[in-house]
Structure 1
Amino acid sequence: MNRGIQLRERVILGAMMAISIVPFVGVLFTSLHPQGIVPEGISWPASPQWGNYLDAWSIGNIGELLWSSTLIVLAVVPVGVLVCTMAGFALGHLRTPGRALISTLFLAGLAVPFESAIVPLYYQAEALGTLNTRWAIILPMIGLLAPFGVFWMSAHFRGVPSAISEAARMDGADTIRLFLHVHLPLALPAISTLALLQFISTWNQFLVASVLVDDPGMRTMAGALGAFQGEHRTDVVLLCAGAVTIMLPTVLLFLFLQRRFVTALLAGAVK
């Protein structure tokens, strides 16, 4: 009986993994075909064209966009993680007045899609004088990612046993020391996961960067994909080569942080 259940679970997980991996494999294989054609199905080319990546790098101006995306990510992720971690600690662990109402407002922010906020963000950036600068991407992304980040971190801090804080209080720890020396080390898996998710959202952000910034060289890496789309024709092979190049930093970062990512996801499953 147990073997049958385990086999069924493995089959389901294998099918889900295949559904997730097959599109990436298809994009990778397509990027190695000769330019100007549209490959049918998923097939490894007889003569892989690795030079497509050099052409995609040049045509999409990926080098300049890589630098721009790095600057944006370095501004968004550290500030966003810091704000969300401190807010999550206040709402999830401390007895902050009105925390139920504040938590509900942050939770309601999860239901607001980026698309519905883009017009107000445009006029706000214009009023602040940040339009057509990287600040027009950085400031909105910090705010747009905050609802999920606060919800994620507050859920973590609510799961920490109160006995840990009580023991630290008895040893003379104030709120700042309690946060920095007790709860912050315990929250590293959750913080790493939040940093990874915010990195992915910022790195792949296309709508905010396209609407609020006119200069293509000041946008995120996702803006490079527009260079492969012409008025009457799209080079699918170069488009896939550019997509693989853009995804590569995200994949490498996930592989580097995968242990902390899994630890954070399973933190509430086993006590």
Structure 2
Amino acid sequence: MITRREAILNYVILGFFALLSLTPIVGVVLTALTPTDQASATFTIPSRLDFGNFVTAWNQGHFSQYMLSSIIVTLTTVAIASVLSILAGFAFARMRFAGSQVLFYLLIIGLFVPLETYIIPLYYEMRGIELTDTYAALILPQIAQSVAFGVFWMRTFFAAVPNGLIEAARLDGARESTLLWRILVPTARPAIITMVMLTFMWTWNDFLLSLVMITSEQFRTAPLALSFFQSQFVTQYALLSAAATIVALPLIILYAFLQRYFIRGMLAGAIKE
């Protein structure tokens, strides 16, 4: 049993590390709200809050167009990768077929190979089939990367489901599709939401793929646009902080609404076979 002194010590330690984590975020937000004539590269507390920096950064950086591109790429990637991961994860966890183990380990190789190692040949492949400077050049590689993690994640969860539940459903005449979508998927909601959040975060924050594959402003995503914005307003610290906050805001909102499921999913994903 934890004593009162130990509980207080735990809260003090956790509070200290939480403060360390939040300090850079608070600093960026405060800088974004600082009037441009007061903003500096160091941490400052503004004399008044200027929300106009967000409007200026949004308009001058054309973030309406770039945020739309990021939304298209991210939502398409998350939707397709999630469905494929659920289907493949179920197959590898609950169906027996020749070469399943070999195929599974070949698939998750994508977890260990960083994008930087194959981005150049990938570019030439995409250029050879005339897909560079299109949304497909961003979506297809992102799906491939996300499915490697998603299959590993969902297979772990489906394999941990009690065999009694599976056998009872099959005895009642449930087909494999019914077993998956009506029985397993509802119970796997925390794990699926966690997978969706992680895939959303990785896809939204991608910079290298957009930098290599996209040259047209039409398909430029928000993180890539932020780098161009930084080069134009390198000393405008308030506008830079406002732009960075705008790009990060969708992730913050998503986590704020789904953090309860995210934590439950992380705990479910920690179950070992």
For normalisation by structure 2, the TM-score amounts to 0.91
Matched-pair identity in %: 37
Q: Give CA deviations for 1:81-114 in whole Å, capped at 9, x if unaligned.
A: 0011111111123224323222322333211112
Taking structure 1 as reference, are residues 237 and 100 closer, same or farther at Cα in structure 2, changes over 3 Å only? same
Q: Give CA deviations for 1:173-205 in whole Å, capped at 9, x if unaligned.
A: 121111111111111111111111111111111
Q: In 2, distance between residues paired with 1:40 and 1:115?
A: 31
Can you give the 5+ residue segments of structure 2 that lack an aligned partner in the other structure?
none
TM-superposed CA distance for 1:78, in Å, is 0.5
Q: Give CA deviations for 1:239-266 in whole Å, capped at 9, x if unaligned.
A: 1110101111111111111121111112
Quote the residue 2:212 is aligned against: 211
Quote the residue 1:236 is aligned against: 237
Amino acid across the alignment from 2:2: N
3-state SS of 1:229 partner: helix
Q: Give CA deviations for 1:132-164 in whole Å, capped at 9, x if unaligned.
A: 111110111101112111111111111111111
Taking structure 1 as reference, are residues 36 and 84 closer, same or farther at Cα in structure 2, changes over 3 Å only? farther
Quote the residue 2:135 is aligned against: 134
Amino acid across the alignment from 2:158: F
3-state SS of 1:230 partner: helix
3-state SS of 1:195 partner: helix
TM-superposed CA distance for 1:124, in Å, is 1.3
Contact map agreement 1:59 1:227 (CA 8 A) in 2: no
Taking structure 1 as reference, are residues 148 and 229 closer, same or farther at Cα in structure 2, changes over 3 Å only? same
Structure 1 window deviating more from structure 2 (129-138 vs 112-121): it is: 112-121
Question: In the alignment, does 2:170 pair up with 1:169?
Answer: yes
Contact map agreement 2:191 2:269 (CA 8 A) in 1: no
Quote the residue 2:2 is aligned against: 2
Paired residues for 1:1-271 under 5 Å? 2-3=2-3, 4-35=5-36, 39=40, 41-230=42-231, 233-267=234-268
Can you give the 5+ residue segments of structure 1 that lack an aligned partner in the other structure?
none
TM-superposed CA distance for 1:237, in Å, is 2.0
Q: In 2, distance between residues paired with 1:216 and 1:9?
A: 50
For normalisation by structure 1, the TM-score amounts to 0.92
Q: Give CA deviations for 1:214-271 in whole Å, capped at 9, x if unaligned.
A: 012312211221233337944222111101011111111111111211111122679x
> What count of residue pairs does the alignment treat as equivalent?
271
Taking structure 1 as reference, are residues 37 and 100 closer, same or farther at Cα in structure 2, changes over 3 Å only? farther
TM-superposed CA distance for 1:119, in Å, is 0.8
TM-superposed CA distance for 1:49, in Å, is 2.0
Structure 1 window deviating more from structure 2 (42-51 vs 57-66): it is: 42-51
Amino acid across the alignment from 2:82: V
Q: In 2, distance between residues paired with 1:237 and 1:73?
A: 27
Structure 1 window deviating more from structure 2 (95-104 vs 240-249): it is: 95-104
Contact map agreement 1:53 1:238 (CA 8 A) in 2: yes
Q: In 2, distance between residues paired with 1:12 and 1:87?
A: 42
Amino acid across the alignment from 1:189: P
Contact map agreement 1:88 1:154 (CA 8 A) in 2: yes
Contact map agreement 1:228 1:234 (CA 8 A) in 2: no
